[in-house]
Amino acid sequence: MRAILFLLLFFPFTSNAQTVCSPESRERLERLLFELSQKDHSGKSLNTLNVEIGEWFLGTPYVEKTLEIPGEEKLVINLQGLDCTTFLETVVTLSRLVSKSKLTFEAYEAELEKIRYRNSVNTGYPSRLHYFSDWMFENEKKGIIKDVTANIGGKPYPNHPTFMSSNPQFYPPLSNPGYVTQIKASEKTIASRTYSYIPKEEIRQREHLIQAGDLIAITATMSNLDMVHVGFAMEINGRIHLMHASSGTMQVEVSEKPLSDYLASFKSQSGIMVGRLR
C-alpha cells in the first residue's frame, strides 16, 4: 500500500498510454472542471468563457517546454506551470468543454488532443502543431476557430518558417532524421498558404475590431519563424490588453500596457494574427 501511495504522489498520472498528467495537475484540473460544472454558463459566448476561465489562471507560474518529455510523444496535461501556448490551449479546451457541457477528465483529454495535433490525433512528435500559424490553420479547418485577421484589415504576411528544421539541436526529438524530414514537409506546406497579419503600427487603429477573448498570435520579425508569442485579448477601460503566460514576469498575467504599446516595446515582434472561437 505504501508503495502505491508513493507512486501516486511522486510519479505522473497516466490515464492511457499516450497521456501524462501529474497528480497535482490532475487535482487542479478536476477541481476546475467541478467548479465550472456548478456555474450557469447559459448565454455566454466562447470569447466570454476564454476571459473568465483565463482569469482563473492569473498568477500561475510560467514554465517553458513542459511538453518536451523524454521518449515518445505524449499528450502532456500540466496545469501547474504554463507557457504561452499551453496556457492558450488549456483555456480554449476548457471553454469548448463548457460550451458542450462535457466537463470530465476524459473529455478534456480528447479535446486537448484534438486541438494540439494535426488531424486531431497524436501520431508522434511531428504531428504536434509546433508552428502557431499552422495551429490556427488546422484548427480553422476543424471548425474550432476562424482566422479573422484579414476581415479586420490584415495585410499579406510572408510566412516561410524553417526555424525548427534549421535548428534541430534545440529540439531533442529532431535527432531522428525522419522527424526532421516530416517537419520540413510541414514547413513547406505552411509556406504554400496565404496568411494575413496586422502590422504593430496599425494595431491601435484596428483594435476596436478585436473582441475580448480573441486569440492573439504575435508575429515574428525573424524571416524563418512565424510567431514569438500568443495569448488572449482582454478589454480594460476601452483598450485591448494581452492576457498571457509571460516569460518576463514568469507568470500568467494581463499586460499593463495596451496591446499596441506592448508590441512597440519588442523589436522581435512585427504584428498580430487574430483568431476567434466558433
| Tens-digit pLDDT profile for residues 222-272 | 999 999 999 999 999 999 999 999 999 999 999 999 999 999 999 999 999
Number of domains in the chain: 1
Q: Is 30 left (phi over 0), alpha (psi -120 to 50) or beta?
A: alpha
Helix (H) or strand (E) holding 118, with range, is none
Q: What does the alpha-carbon distance between residue 38 and residue 89 come to, in Å, rounded to a whole number?
A: 22
As given in the structure block, the three cell numbers for residue 43 are: 448565454
Give the pLDDT of residue 64.
96
Q: What does the alpha-carbon distance between residue 177 and residue 160 come to, in Å, rounded to a whole number?
A: 21
Q: What pTM, to 2 d.p., does this model score?
A: 0.94
Structural domain span for residue 262: 2-277
Beta carbons within 10 angstroms of residue 149's beta carbon: 24
Half-sphere exposure at residue 226, Cβ-oriented, CA atoms within 13 angstroms:
28
Q: Which CATH number goes with the domain that contains 238?
A: 1.10.3670.10
Give the pLDDT of residue 16.
56
Report the share of the chain in percent with pLDDT over 70. 94
| Tens-digit pLDDT profile for residues 28-54 | 999 999 999 999 999 999 999 999 999
Give the pLDDT of residue 18.
86
| Tens-digit pLDDT profile for residues 117-170 | 999 999 999 999 999 999 999 999 999 999 999 999 999 999 999 999 999 999
| pLDDT above 60: residue 112 | yes
Q: What does the alpha-carbon distance between residue 244 and residue 83 come to, in Å, rounded to a whole number?
A: 8
